Amino acid sequence: MTDEYTIDNSEEPTQKTPSSTPHPFLKWAGSKRYILKHIIGAFPQSFNTYREPFLGGGSLFFFLKPEKAILSDTNEDLINTYLAIRHNVDSVFDYISLLKPNKTTYYKIREKRSKGKLKRAAEFIYINKTCWNGLYRVNSKGVFNVPYGSPKNNYIADIDNLRKCSNLLNKETIELRTCDFEEALTGTKQGDLVYLDPPYVTGHSNNGFVEYNEKIFSWADQIRLAKVAKKLSSIGAHVLVSNANHTQVLELYKGFDKIQIDRNSTLAGDINKRGKVSEVLLFSSS
């Protein structure tokens, strides 16, 4: 049987020891930072390689601090930023320290990004922290087009935290890739822990869910992802999926256990208009 219960997420983000644990250096729409304790409640007591093919802000990775991990995303700019933090954190921060939230600066950088890897990584972190709600969106030409977010303070990055992130990413057993999720999961073995958090938007009725999400992660990709999840579960990998709590999605994961999470939306511009959204954690019982 499938277990189901509802959690009202109104707590602070899950934290380990603040002095030793890195936290995400990016603000990412759909971040799971505020529901980490519910996610890890579905984890096995031990696992081998940690695999996360929709990396985004990496909340779960930074919380777990796994000894071995394969992290990936199709967003090349994102992965290159992680690589820059991994190899040249101080140089990246030197560039960041020259930037302050400013509408003119934001649009200038957004329209013409630098070609140098370190400066480009600094610019990626800057526009991420100063754009609207940490949203990453591109137009039909693949150009980032999120508007300026008018941040309330000048905070862009903390060098101490960036160094902690760099130290973790610098482990020889941590691998970063730019690729499709199916390619990233090739080679998954029994006992590996796979966390799948594909892009999706929850605030739509069941009838409109597929059509609305088609542009950010197609329904064909959702079907492909579910097939991969079931295959990995069948070979003994521990598979956990975050997704919208919609009938079409649940149908794809028949046989998986389910935890329903109701939390506050972060995507409305006016905080007073941020209603509840319903998501699910779907996990195999391997």
In this prediction, residue 36 carries a pLDDT of 83
Structure tokens at 219: 């329904």
Determine the pLDDT at residue 267: 52
Q: pTM for the whole thing?
A: 0.88
76-96 and 159-169 helices, crossing angle to 10°: 140
Confidence of residue 10 (pLDDT cuts 50, 70, 90): very low
Listed residue (62, 7, 85) closest to 195, CA to CA = 62
Place of tokens 């480009």: 120
| Higher pLDDT pick, 56 / 276 | 56
CA distances from 209 to 8, 203, 216, 217, 245 (A): 22, 8, 12, 11, 10
Q: In the predicted model, what is the mean pLDDT of the chain?
A: 87
Which pLDDT value is given to residue 18? 45
Domains and CATH numbers, the chain: 6-74+179-283 (3.40.50.150), 83-164 (1.10.1020.10)
Q: Band of the pLDDT at 285, cuts 50, 70, 90? A: low
Q: Is the pLDDT of residue 8 over 60?
A: no
Q: Is the pLDDT of residue 170 over 70?
A: yes
Mean of pLDDT values over 251-261 = 93
Decide: residue 24, CB within 10 A, 0-12 exposed, 13-18 middle, 19+ buried: buried
